[in-house]
Amino acid sequence: MSERHPSSGMPSWRGTTILSVRKGNQVVIAGDGQVTLGAVTVKANARKVRSLCDGKVLAGFAGATADAFTLFERLESKLEQYPTQLTRACVELAKDWRTDKYLRRLEAMIAVVDSSVSLIVTGNGDVLEPEDGLIGIGSGGSYALSAARALIDIDSVDALQVAKKSMTVAADLCIYTNSNFTIESLTT
């Protein structure tokens, strides 16, 4: 039985795994490419990770695609208002997201990183900075996050290798995640 969208009764769009890994002088965001409507995969190569602010900020989304694009646009606008202040821009976005009638209905979550900070932004007004530099969101996020935590302390692997292997683990376990990865990175 497929999940139903609360307001329309239509099958819900499901599936995404977004992982961010910060290690050494590198930060990476990886996302899978699968989009699922109910029990059907409707797209296998969606691009859920974006580079913003001329490549200085990376973001990945989990949730409804149109909602995520709206949030990316709003985040870029906040980054224009608060250049080089990613945390401040995300806090302002979260405030708008929680209080604006239109934005309040958006069903998405975003992971955002720059050279110095990694953040999770939610529609509940949360702006969370993980203490270990690892973020996992979406249906396979916990699988990818668990794998990344297991791999992060191995000296011979860098952030990109941790992300690729962890995303592969998530794709093997989560039926809403595939192995068509989009990966963006920054040098810190």
Q: What is the pLDDT of residues 82-118, one digit of tens each?
A: 999 999 999 999 988 878 766 666 777 899 999 999 9
Reduced to 3 states (helix: H, G, I; strand: E, B; else coil), residue 137 is strand
What whole-number distance in Å separates Cα of residue 140 and Cα of residue 124? 21
Residue 67 within any structural domain of the chain: yes
Residue 188 within any structural domain of the chain: no
Residue 9 CB partners (closer than 8 Å, separation 6+): none
Q: So what's the pLDDT on residue 3?
A: 45
* Nearest C-alpha neighbor of 159 from the set 60, 19, 20, 21: 21
Tell me which of 16, 17, 36, 177 is the catalytic residue: 16
Specify whether the CB–CB gap between 19 and 171 falls below 8 A: no
pLDDT band at 1 (very low <50, low <70, confident <90, very high): very low
pLDDT at residue 12 tops 60:
no
What whole-number distance in Å separates Cα of residue 68 and Cα of residue 7? 18
Other Cβ atoms within 10 Å of 64 Cβ, number: 17
Instruction: Read off the CATH number of the domain in which 81 is found.
Output: 3.60.20.10
37-85 per-position pLDDT tens digit: 888 888 999 999 999 999 999 999 988 777 778 888 989 999 999 999 9
Question: Mean pLDDT across the stretch 140-157?
Answer: 97
Q: So what's the pLDDT on residue 100?
A: 72
Specify whether the CB–CB gap between 78 and 101 falls below 8 A: no
Q: So what's the pLDDT on residue 102?
A: 63
Active site residue 16: yes
Token code pair at residue 173 = 């376990």
pLDDT band at 4 (very low <50, low <70, confident <90, very high): very low
Q: What is the DSSP-derived secondary structure letter of residue 140? A: T
Percent of the chain beyond pLDDT 90? 69
Residue 8 within any structural domain of the chain: no
pLDDT at residue 161 tops 90:
yes
- Angle, helices 159-173/141-151, rounded to nearest 10 degrees: 140
Q: In terms of residue numbers, what domain contains 133?
A: 13-183
Amino acid at 60: G
Please state which of the ranges 17-21, 29-33, 60-64 shows the lowest mean pLDDT. Answer: 60-64
Residue 3 within any structural domain of the chain: no
Question: Mean pLDDT across the stretch 21-44?
Answer: 93
pLDDT band at 146 (very low <50, low <70, confident <90, very high): very high
**What does the mean pLDDT of the chain come to?**
89
Reduced to 3 states (helix: H, G, I; strand: E, B; else coil), residue 82 is coil
- Name the residue with higher pLDDT: 9 or 182: 182
Distance of CA 180 to the CA centre of its chain: 15
pLDDT band at 14 (very low <50, low <70, confident <90, very high): low
Residue 5 within any structural domain of the chain: no
Buried b (16+ CB within 10 A) or exposed e, 77-90: ebbeebeeebeebb
Q: How many structural domains does the chain have?
A: 1
